[in-house]
Structures are given as structure tokens and as C-alpha cells.
Amino acid sequence: MRLLINKLVLILSTLAALLGIGFLFWILITLSIKGISAINLHIFTADLVDNGLRNLLFGQFVLALIAVVIGVPIGMIAGIYLQEYSYNSKYAQFIRNLSDVMMSAPSIVIGTFVYAIVVNPIGHVSGWAGAIALAIMMIPIVVRTTDDMLGLVPTELREAGVAIGAPKYKVIFNIIIKAAKVGIMTGILLAFARIIGETAPLLFTSGNSEFWTTDLNNEFPSLTVAIYNLATMPNEELVNIAWAGAFLLTMFVLIINLLGRFITKEKTK
């Protein structure tokens, strides 16, 4: 009876995995066919106002890079505190639990929060608000990754650094972080891959400009928001631009994820 149940569960789990993989390949194949057919040189040299993606690609990466500049230092410092200075206190456990909750929080909730504290007081959307929303999404991922990776560093390395008379901060930055740098970098790459494809927080915070701009104090171009808007247009040419943008964004996120897994695999070896 137990062998029968085991085989039944194995068959059901295999079918479920194949079903999930099937849907994934269906999405990727459809996206590739429609996206590749819509890609041409014009979309890389023209802005959205001229049916191109140039300003959108630039704007999306600017928002994501600013989010990295804001979120990575804050997340790493918080992770270092939790692992090296908190001594597993109740306060540290509360921060860890809060970080886990934030990681699973819907992105639209974060967008609404930033809208209330940044956009609403100044009266209009801005690139800075969008970058802040993405940074808030990135921070808990970096905190958790840094905390976990530092926790894997052997205690003997810390004791060796203290034994030679090095201050604790030098032990942390010159020994412990160097030992965990591959894992931390992988976490940062995966966090970046997540925020680069977010739409919901930017709908309420940065909006989407059809023109090339570097002014973060006003409405800022965003590829994900543009895809969301263009996909509902009755004009077939605009829908094709959305397919092209979705394909480019998907390929970039896929490459970042594969790079992160490759780094982790090499570190394991």
C-alpha cells in the first residue's frame, strides 16, 4: 500500500512539474516569436513618442541603478549589524521577521506607500519616487542575503582576526565580507533582477514620460509601465512595441538570474 501511494505521489508531482514547465515554455515561446518579430533598429534609436524604446530602456536602468545605490549600502549595513553586532537578540529576530515579511509584500503596496509619503506631498510623480520604491523592495532581499552569507563564514576566521589584534570592523570588512562576497554579490544580482522588471510601484511613483529626459524631479520614462500601457492600445504597431519591450526585459532578467546561479555554482565548486 505504501509503495502504491509513493508511486501515485511521484506521478502526480511529476505531472505538476511538467505542467508548470509547459506553461513556462509556452509563455517564453510566444514572447520570443512576437518580440523578435517586432524588434528592429528603429526602436533602439527613437523615443516612445516616435514609436521607439530608447528613452524607456534608459529610464528603466537609471531607476534600477539609483535603487541599487540606495538599497545595497542600507541592506548590507543592516545585514552586518544583524549577524555581527546584534548577538541574536530579540530585536534582531524582529528585524529578520520584518525583513521576511517585506520580501513577500506585494509590490503595489510598496508603491502605494511611497505615493503617500513622497508623491502626494509634492503633488506629482517623479523619478526619485520610483527609485525609492524600487530601493525599498531591494533592501529586505539584500539584508537577508548579507545576514545569511555572513552567518556561513566560520567562527574561526573571526577568532583569528581578533587574535592578531585587529579591530572588529577591520575583521568584518577585510576578512568576513571577503569570505562571503560571492554569496552577497549573487543576492544583489537577484535583487536587481527582481526590481528591474517591476511595474506596480512605478505606476504610482514615476509614471511614464514619452520623451527623453534626465530630470528625475518630474515624470520619468519606464519600460515596464510603458509595456503595461501599450499592451492595451488598439493600435497594432504600439502593441508590437510592447512585445519587443517585454522580450528585451525578459531576456535581461533571465541573463541576470543565470549569472547569479552560475556564480553560486562556481563558488560551491
Q: Which tens digit of pLDDT belongs to each residue from 67-102?
A: 999 999 999 999 999 888 888 788 888 888 888 888
Q: Which residue has the higher pLDDT, 4 or 16?
A: 16
Say if CB 108 and CB 201 are below 8 A apart: yes
pLDDT digits (tens, 9 = 90+) for 199-226: 888 988 988 888 888 888 889 999 999 8
Angle CA(115)–CA(119)–CA(125) in degrees, nearest 5?
Answer: 110
Q: Per-residue pLDDT averaged across 240-248, rounded?
A: 90
Answer whether residue 166 shows pLDDT above 80.
no
| pLDDT of amino acid 153 | 85
d(CA 268, CA 30): 35
Q: Output the pTM of the full model.
A: 0.86
d(CA 167, CA 87): 17
**Which contacts qualify for 133-136: CB closer than 8 Å, 24 or more apart?**
133/201, 133/202, 133/204, 133/205, 133/206, 134/63, 134/64, 134/66, 134/67, 134/71, 134/195, 134/198, 134/201, 134/202, 135/66, 135/67, 135/68, 135/70, 135/71, 135/74, 136/71, 136/102, 136/110
| pLDDT of amino acid 266 | 58
SS3 content of the chain, % helix, strand, coil (to 5): 80, 0, 20
3-state secondary structure of 46: coil
**Domain boundaries, given as residue ranges, for the chain:** 1-38, 42-268
The closest of 253, 196, 261, 260 to 31, measured between CA atoms, is 253
Top CATH class of 42-268 equals mainly alpha
18 CA to centre of own chain: 27
| pLDDT of amino acid 95 | 85
3-state secondary structure of 20: helix
128-132, 166-170, 186-190, 209-213: which is most confident: 128-132
| pLDDT of amino acid 35 | 87
Residues 6+ apart with CB under 8 A from 253: 193, 196, 197
Q: Per-residue pLDDT averaged across 221-245, rounded?
A: 87
| pLDDT of amino acid 264 | 66
C-alpha cell at 167: 579591530
Question: Buried b vs exposed e over 171-198: b needs ≥16 C-beta within 10 Å?
Answer: bbeebbbeebeebbbbbbbbbbbbbbbb
